[in-house]
Amino acid sequence: MEALSYFTAMAGTVAFAVTAVLAVSKRGIDLFGACVLGITTAIGGGTIRDLVLDVPVFWATDLNYIWVGLISSLATFVALPFFKRKFIYLLLLYIDGFGASLFAIQAMDKVWELNFGLPVAPILLGVTTAIGGGVTRDVLAGRKTLIMSRELYATPVLFGCILFSIASYVLPEYRATWASVCIAIIFGIRSAAIHWKLSVPNWLMTQTAEDDLD
């Protein structure tokens, strides 16, 4: 079980790094930029979480995260056409979605263990862990961040994190079970969003009318 969790975390790290390099590659980046943006995406969210928690950053004690992020970034840079193949890219999108689900709930679990600002802070830090790396990448690459996009990516993560927080607060003895359920829910919504190209519905958006203030 532990090994499975570790394996999926590494698969998620690969997907984060590869999709990051793919996302920025068309802007023309060099080898250095590819490595920086790939690694930032892979470890950025968890790093912010650990800084806020004031615990050692997770990759300092387990360098595999950096190695995997680095090698994935390099491989993507070298073999862009391969990773852009429709099937491979789609597979990566799903693994990326699973990675985000896993990292969010794992992070909340870590925050919960530390008894840090329950029950709200775990939600903040779960979401930060899942999307912080991607947001940092977008800022560094000068892209519109996913906070401003209509892609159904962060919203399912937020939804799953809120659910996990309520469930863990009300029924703490089943936290491990809830963790699996919430990972499945986030991944399920994200998969549906990828498959049917869903985006955030209109009623969850502010108007972008012309008659606006400022």
Contact (CB, 8 A) for 12 and 46: no
**Minimum CB separation from a copy of itself for residue 204, in Å?**
5
Site for a copy of itself in 43-62 (CB under 8 A): 47, 51-52, 54, 56-57, 59-61
Stretch that binds a copy of itself, among 8-16, 24-32, 99-107, 186-194 (CB under 8 A): 24-32
Q: Is 188 a residue that touches a copy of itself (CB under 8 A)? A: no
Residue written as token pair 């800022």? 139
Q: Is 121 a residue that touches a copy of itself (CB under 8 A)? A: yes
- Nearest by Cα to 168 from 156, 158, 159, 177: 177
Coil/strand/helix, residue 206: coil
The count of C-alpha atoms lying within 13 angstroms of the C-alpha of 135, restricted to the half-sphere facing its C-beta, is: 17
In angstroms, the CA 135 to CA 161 distance is: 18
x/- mask, a copy of itself, residues 76-115, rule CB under 8 A, reads: -x--x---x----x--------------------------
Residue 158 tokens, joined: 């937020």
Stretch that binds a copy of itself, among 94-102, 163-171, 176-184, 205-213 (CB under 8 A): 205-213
Phi (first) and psi of residue 106, to 5 degrees = -60, -40
CA dihedral 188, 21, 134, 144 (to 10 degrees): -110
Q: Is 197 a residue that touches a copy of itself (CB under 8 A)? A: no
Residue 155 tokens, joined: 């919203």
Contact (CB, 8 A) for 157 and 104: yes
Q: Which of 120, 166, 170, 171 is close enough to bind a copy of itself by CB under 8 A?
A: 120
Coil/strand/helix, residue 107: helix
Stretch that binds a copy of itself, among 97-105, 168-176, 184-192, 200-208 (CB under 8 A): 200-208
Q: Give residues in contact with a copy of itself (CB under 8 A).
A: 22-37, 39, 47, 51-52, 54, 56-57, 59-61, 63, 66-67, 70, 77, 80, 84, 89, 116-117, 120-121, 124, 127, 135, 139-142, 144-145, 147-148, 150, 154-155, 158, 200, 204-209, 212-214
